[in-house]
Amino acid sequence: MANIPAPVGELLGKALVGELTVIDAQGRPVTYPLIPLWDGERVYMTSSSLFSRKLEHIRANPKVSLSITDPVAVDGRTDRATIQGDARIIEDDPHGGWERLLPIWEQKEPSIVYFLKARVALPLFFERALIEITPRRVLYWSDGDPASAPAVTVVGEEAA
Amino acid sequence: MRSTPEVDARTGLEKLATYPYQILTWVDDAGYPVSVAVDARVNASERTARFETPAGLVVPTDREVSLTGSHIRPQPGYGYDERRHVTVWGPVTVSGPTISLEGRTAWGWDEAEVPFFEYSERSVAKSRKYFDALSAERGTPVKPSLSLGFLTLRTTRLPFLTATIVPVVLGILIATSHGQFDLVAALLTIIGACFVQLGLNVANDVFDTIQGADDANVTPTQFSGGSRVIQYGLVSLRQMATLSTVFYVLAGAIGLILLATHGSTALLVIGVVGFIVSLGYTAPPLKFVYRGLGEIAVALGFGPLMLLGAYVVQTGGALSWEPFVASIPIALLVALILYVNEIPDRRGDAHAHKLTLPVRFSKAAVIGGYNLAAAAAYAVIVLGVGTGILPIPALLMLLTIPLAVRVSRGLAPNYDNPYALMAVMGVNVKLHLYAGLMLGAAYVVVLIVGAAWPTMSLFLG
């Protein structure tokens, strides 16, 4: 379904951290650094119940964006992207439902497996909801420079 | 309330200026957030940040926008660390090619300022709210969970049973060296004493929760701050109260069996006093730990009471100085476990009017107190051996002095860092265990020598 530009898919695959922006009750953007997990079709992120304010915002307004801006987090790449999309919260099983994404997560943060084995030490951190983002529009800066206009791609059903 | 305090706009801008670039974000006319990296020139004193208008995009001036700084340091093979981020919100004005943001509010987190574990602890109320909302939405309770094994471990604080096993086994060994040993009674004593401690551990959480001490503690560690299972919503207060009652009932039942089969006035007195000290540790009206008597109560309970209790079960009530003197270093060292573990809890304890020694005294006095008590534990051993009350092999306990020195040296540099202090607390727990093992080994030597060479005495004088 998704046809986001290939370099953006590569950025998503590499990024150790991206900036998820949600919209609060006052209509302001609120930005949270999170690990983006890209399965080739949708972007996933997970949120601990401890830090679940973002989930409240998404429930009230599912329009979100995810930006990849930090060269340090993408192995030195200087291109940047912002993906606008619709978010859905998946929380059927906060205790273990999110673990289906563990293989992708582990590739970016190997220590998570160690911490999960010791979940008794921080049980609420591992009670997590999934945030599934369906991309709608992608802004891509091939040189990462805001002086250049981004290439804009409409994706998904809107593109059809 | 946010789990981390909101920072004022000026502070937020000062922090924002330390990032190599900033992420400008606004909500576009289609209702989606848009983000673009910019190079902002921050003037924190004027509370402004200026940057060039990003090409091809229209930044709205009729709504608040934000500037965010975000930082991580990749750690190959691990993930990343040095997490920090800050966001400043405000309206913007456009002047030619330049946009100026007027910072009005800000928020952020820097793990160098608020460690991740503290940040998580401060966010527990948010987790409770999340599960309450999920429960209301589904019409059925949804709770966080742990596997039964992990939950049992966490709820009962099972690893701390060494505090009971050390004095009880030592009491049994001393009685054995005096020619008194009943295996069934010994096993019942160990099990019954463990139930007392499990009842105490769980009751401690119940009463600390009721009195607000555990809720006020935002820097718990694996050694301090209670099990947190009530705070985390893993077990209810009522379930914990029931569990504690069950442990005490089981302990009481075993106590009655021992009284019936190996009863004595001494055992009855020790049992009753032990129960009062155990339950009164945190429970009203006694609340020993809230009155600055917690360390004494623990020393008494996990020293003389446990050790002499185990001893008199075996001897049928006969008492002697030897088990009493042997119990003193154990009492001091177990009290020092509590004492050191109270250091990271002191702010939360003070908030809940729990007047532990680290709450009442200065850092220097607390560290001095540790050194004095540890030195006293070893002095008692030397004096006990010197006066012929304890056997010469009891000097084996002196081998643990390096551990005490490590704890003592670790207190000052880590006094204000609960997470750095964890390693010191761990060594302190080992100190009590190894000291107990050394004394136990001393009595094994006494038993072996007594069996092999009945005329040889291992006591001076």
Question: A78 — contact with chain B (CB < 8 Å)?
Answer: no
Closest CA to B350 of B279, B289, B295: B289
Please write the tens of the pLDDT for every residue from B132-148: 999 999 999 999 999 99
Whole-number pLDDT of residue B216: 87
Nearest chain B alpha carbon to A125: B120
What is the band of A157 on the pLDDT scale with cuts at 50, 70, 90?
low
What is the band of B5 on the pLDDT scale with cuts at 50, 70, 90?
low
What are phi and psi for residue A134, nearest 5 degrees? -95, 115
DSSP B340-367: HHHHHHHHHHHHTT---HHHHS-HHHHH
Reported pTM: 0.88
Beta strand B98-102 with B92-95 is: antiparallel
Among residues 228-257 of chain B, which lie with CB inside 8 Å of chain A? Answer: 232, 234
Please write the tens of the pLDDT for every residue from B225-284: 899 999 999 999 999 999 999 999 999 999 999 999 998 999 999 999 999 999 999 999
Residue B1 predicted with pLDDT over 80: no
What is the band of A158 on the pLDDT scale with cuts at 50, 70, 90?
low
Whole-number pLDDT of residue B2: 47
Flag if A65 and B130 touch (Cβ within 8 Å): no
Total Cβ atoms within 10 A of residue A59: 13
Nearest chain A alpha carbon to B27: A29
The residue of B50, B59, B130, B218 whose CB has the most chain A CBs within 10 angstroms, and thus the best one to mutate to test that interface, is: B130
Question: B45 — contact with chain A (CB < 8 Å)?
Answer: no
**Of residues A23, A33, A125, nearest to B27 (C-beta):** A23
Q: Are the CB atoms for B144 and B117 separated by under 8 Å?
A: no
d(CA B255, CA B131): 42
Nearest chain A alpha carbon to B154: A120
Please write the tens of the pLDDT for every residue from B147-203: 999 999 999 999 999 999 999 999 999 999 999 999 999 999 999 999 999 999 999
Please write the tens of the pLDDT for every residue from B310-348: 999 999 999 999 999 999 999 999 999 999 999 999 988
Flag if A139 and B73 touch (Cβ within 8 Å): no
* ipTM given for this complex: 0.95
**What number is the average pLDDT over the span B122-133?**
96
Q: Residue B60: is the preceding peptide bond cis (ω within 30°)? A: no
Q: Are the CB atoms for B59 and B65 separated by under 8 Å?
A: yes
What is the band of A135 on the pLDDT scale with cuts at 50, 70, 90?
very high
Among residues 143-182 of chain B, which lie with CB inside 8 Å of chain A? Answer: 144-146, 150, 153-154
Q: Are the CB atoms for A130 and A101 separated by under 8 Å?
A: yes
**Of residues B21, B66, B127, nearest to A52 (C-beta):** B127
Residue A30 predicted with pLDDT over 90: yes
**Of residues B23, B120, B130, nearest to A122 (C-beta):** B120
Tokens of B13: 């801008």
Single-letter code of the amino acid located at B22: Q
Among residues 87-146 of chain A, which lie with CB inside 8 Å of chain B? Answer: 91, 94-95, 108-112, 119-125, 127, 136-137, 139, 141, 144, 146
pLDDT, averaged across chain A: 94
Closest CA to B212 of B342, B348, B118, B328: B348
Give percent of chain A with pLDDT exceeding 70: 96
Q: How close B29 comes to chain A (CA, Å)?
A: 12
CA dihedral (B238, B241, B243, B245) positive or negative: negative
Tokens of B415: 């006094």
Distances A126 to A87, A118, B124 between C-alpha atoms, Å: 21, 10, 13
Flag if B35 and A19 touch (Cβ within 8 Å): yes
Please write the tens of the pLDDT for every residue from A5-28: 999 999 999 999 999 999 999 999
For helices B306-315 and B183-210, the axis angle rounded to 10 degrees is 150
Q: Worst-scoring range by mean pLDDT, B103-112, B244-253, B350-359, B399-408?
A: B350-359
Q: What is the dihedral of CA B415, B419, B331, B153, to 10 degrees?
A: 170
Question: B27 — contact with chain A (CB < 8 Å)?
Answer: yes
- B3: which chain A residues are within 8 Å (Cβ-Cβ)? 50-51
- A47: which chain B residues are within 8 Å (Cβ-Cβ)? none
**Of residues A120, A121, A149, nearest to B56 (C-beta):** A149
Residue A53, sorted as left (phi over 0), alpha (psi -120 to 50) or beta, turns out to be: alpha
- B91: which chain A residues are within 8 Å (Cβ-Cβ)? none
Q: What is the dihedral of CA B274, B277, B279, B282, to 10 degrees?
A: -160
Whole-number pLDDT of residue B321: 97
